[in-house]
Chain A
Amino acid sequence: MQAVLEHSPPAGATARTTKRTGFLLLSPSVLILLVWSIVPLVMTLWYSLQNYNLVDPTLHGFAGLDNYWYLLTDPDFLHSLLNTLVLVAGVLIISVGGGTLLAVLYDQEFFGRGIARIMVISPFFIMPTVSALLWKNLMLHPIYGVYSAMMRAVGLTPIDWLARFPLMTVMMIVAWEWLPFAVLILLTAVQSLDGEQREAARMDGAGPIARFRYIILPHLGRAISVVVMIETIYLLTIFAEISVTTAGGPGVASTNLAYLIYSRALLQFDVGGASAGGVVAIVIANIVAIFLVRAVARNLEA
């Protein structure tokens, strides 16, 4: 791999044509990504400063920071921001914590491990709308759901999870989708750990907890940070799961920032207000992205 990088381009005129070829081959992708990343961003910023409602043409013109002011003082916004953070943090804790433990578990040799592993990572491949409805109807439906039947079987009264604990239930559904992702990534990382090193620690009398704490966990550091950052980017924009289970309700009990922006834009047609929300979402994501890009940049040097 190093050899590739060390190949210096040939000198003189050939070097210039080579350079130009390289540029020409790269430019289509770069150009469309440039347009894709700048045009919508500028438009969002622009709309966020405008009075613009799709169903009220009389309302137009420069709004200054009014949209932001309304948004930031709107209790719904604060609630949805809080919900967003709760969802991201909750799912991260479940998936990274559980994922680390499961990665170690499925690294052990046992009968039928291959099949068990495939079963564990499967939920990650289920499309969001299917997982959400699967849980809402087949599993948690207060009358027909399997979980309700199980509760009745042991003498408990079934709970209408999505009505009583909407945010927690959405979090659980999303965690079911993302825990397998964490397992997939962390298991790969655990397996890349040098077997000899682990064996040596065993010979030296290190117990399983000590081996986990001092050998496996430090080795997983980067993989965990990658999981955290990639999941955060996706979790900030959880949408389908909320849309098909609770539609953000009851009230705004399970509305996150993504769902709030959607309902402002496409249900209330308030382009200005929704754009201001969009800018807030972008700012939050960028804070995360800075760390992710750094982590990957380190890897690029390695």
Chain B
Amino acid sequence: MALKTKTSTRIGVTILGWGIALWLFFPIFWMILTSFKSEVQAISTPPKLFFMPTLSSYAEVFERASYWHFALNTVIVSVGATAIAIALAVPAAYSMAFIPSKRTRGTLLWMLSTRMLPPVGVLVPIYLLARNTHLLDTCTGLVIVDMLTNLPIIVWMLYTFFREVPAPILEAGRMDGATRWQEMTMVLLPLALPGIASTALLSLILCWNEAFWSLNLTSSHAAPLTAFIASFSSPEGLFFGKLSAASTLAVAPILIFGWISQKQLVRGLTFGAVK
């Protein structure tokens, strides 16, 4: 492609590519930068690009005992919802990939359609159900909701990965007397492990960043990081240093996960329609 591109075009593309990238990334860069400023430096006008970095904002965020509480909630909810969803989805995807029936295609599409239900359409009943079952503001409640919203995506992704495992390998195992269970756990799972890992990663990212249900179903006890950060929308948000430090901590793991798993994300997010 780039064999005979003119040098001037080449330079133009480089400048444009980097210019747009820097512009789009700038807010994130600035957030990380501000997190290393003192509160006074953070609101200095004009804003400073060069300064003595300090960890004081991080220290203050950590000192608020609540930070760990929110972070822990996020981890519990993301990992819990992902683990349960995968446990439910592996047998389902196995069944659809290796024991297809006339209804498989319809079932898959129906699962996809449940994902299309806008959360706000069912906000009222879910809120009332959670309240009546005392699941409001609990990690359990959020785990259930997050697990259910992501289950269709997870089944789909696992299904597309399982379909790439050649059926004869599984059949060979069965010839040797393996039961369905052994076939699934001892033959399929090791083969499909990379696919399962990237599915789990996508689910973790989606749960970690989930804001609609987190903001509406939790208040203090089970509030995850998304809700914690939202509390900075009050005048407290003018503590730019602390806001930036807390935000940086909240997005760092997911940013790194996202960078690692770009390719698989495309597949999961588009239900395999774009590979």
> Which B residues lie within 8 Å of A123 (CB)?
24-25, 27-28
Are the CB atoms of A116 and B21 closer together than 8 Å?
yes
> In the complex, which of the residues B116, B229, B274 contacts A233, with contact meaning CB atoms closer than 8 Å?
B116
Interface assignment of B212: CB less than 8 Å from any CB of chain A: yes
Q: What per-residue 1/0 map shows which CB atoms of A225-248 lie under 8 Å from chain B? A: 011001001001101100111000
Question: From DSSP, what is the main secondary structure of chain B's interface residues?
Answer: helix
Are the CB atoms of A116 and B18 closer together than 8 Å?
yes
B residues at A contact (CB < 8 Å): 1-2, 5, 10, 13-14, 16-18, 20-22, 24-28, 30-31, 34, 42-43, 45-47, 88-89, 91-92, 94-101, 105, 107-109, 111-129, 148, 151-152, 155, 163-164, 166-167, 180, 205, 208-209, 211-212, 215-216, 225-227, 229-230, 232-233, 237-238, 240, 243-244, 247, 250-251, 254-255, 257-259, 262-263, 265-266, 269-275
Q: What per-residue 1/0 map shows which CB atoms of A269-282 lie under 8 Å from chain B? A: 00100110011011
> In the complex, which of the residues A117, A188, A236, A278 contacts B123, with contact meaning CB atoms closer than 8 Å?
A278
Question: From DSSP, what is the main secondary structure of chain A's interface residues?
Answer: helix
In the complex, A245 Cα to B232 Cα: how many Å?
Answer: 10
> Which B residues lie within 8 Å of A181 (CB)?
269
Are the CB atoms of A110 and B124 closer together than 8 Å?
no
Q: Of the 9-residue stretches A58-66, A71-79, A163-171, A283-291, which lies at the interface with chain B?
A: A283-291
Are the CB atoms of B97 and A122 closer together than 8 Å?
no
Are the CB atoms of B101 and A239 closer together than 8 Å?
no
A residues at B contact (CB < 8 Å): 1, 3-5, 7, 9, 18-19, 21-23, 25-26, 28-30, 32-33, 36-37, 39-41, 43-44, 47, 102, 105-106, 108-113, 115-139, 143-144, 146, 149, 152-153, 176, 179-181, 184-185, 188-189, 192, 195, 198-199, 222-223, 226-227, 230, 233, 236-237, 239-240, 243-245, 257-258, 261-262, 265-266, 271, 274-275, 278-279, 281-282, 284-286, 288-289, 292-293, 295-297, 299-300
The chain B residue with its CB closest to the CB of A289 is B116
Say how far A55's CB is from chain B's closest CB, in angstroms: 14
In the complex, A285 Cα to B113 Cα: how many Å?
Answer: 10
> In the complex, which of the residues A37, A133, A296 contacts B273, with contact meaning CB atoms closer than 8 Å?
A296
